[in-house]
Amino acid sequence: MNAKWSLLVAGLSGAAGVSLGAFGAHALKERLVAKGNDAKWATAVQYQMVHTLALLGISIMLSGGAGKLTPFMKKRLSLASALFTAGIVCFSGSIYLLCFVGGTPPAKIVGPITPLGGVMLIGGWLSLVTLALDDVRGL
């Protein structure tokens, strides 16, 4: 993902995260509490917003805010951006969906997507670690 796409996704994800947080705290509050899903919803919002900020930081770096980037750095930042985006959709998105479907049969399909999303989020962070390791080797 390039700087423009990372910024676009960060903006959309941030707006969605704030909206879903407010929706869960107000319009859905009684339903979420009754089903014991209020903490799950809050976790989904929290992870979405933290990784949205990471996407924003990546977009700033890709747009030149971190100085001159090597092709390797651009690839790693783009990979991290793609992994964060997919991770937000799979991790937070599946939790939002599970809060609605509960123990119904779709939960058996959607449930395994949550840890896959978590692995993608971790992969995004590890992609950033490779930048630091490459920089250390280059000193």
What is the DSSP secondary-structure string of 46-102?
HHHHHHHHHHHHHHHIIIIITS---HHHHHHHHHHHHHHHHHIIIIIHHHHHHHHHT
Please write the tens of the pLDDT for every residue from 74-83: 999 999 999 9
Please write the tens of the pLDDT for every residue from 44-61: 999 999 999 999 999 999
3-state DSSP percent of the chain in helix, strand and coil, to 5:
85, 0, 15
For residues 77 and 119, give the distance between their C-alpha atoms in angstroms, rounded to a whole number. 17
For residues 116 and 122, give the distance between their C-alpha atoms in angstroms, rounded to a whole number. 10
13: Cα separation from own chain's centroid: 8
Residue 28: strand, helix, or coil:
coil
Tally of CA atoms within 13 A in the half-sphere of 63 that contains its CB: 12
Res. 133 pLDDT band, cuts 50 70 90: confident
Res. 139 pLDDT band, cuts 50 70 90: very low
For residues 59 and 35, give the distance between their C-alpha atoms in angstroms, rounded to a whole number. 38
Query: Please, are residues 14 and 52 in contact by the beta-carbon 8 Å criterion?
Result: yes
Query: pTM of this prediction?
Result: 0.92
pLDDT number for residue 137: 59
Q: Give me the sign of the Cα torsion angle 60, 64, 68, 69.
A: positive
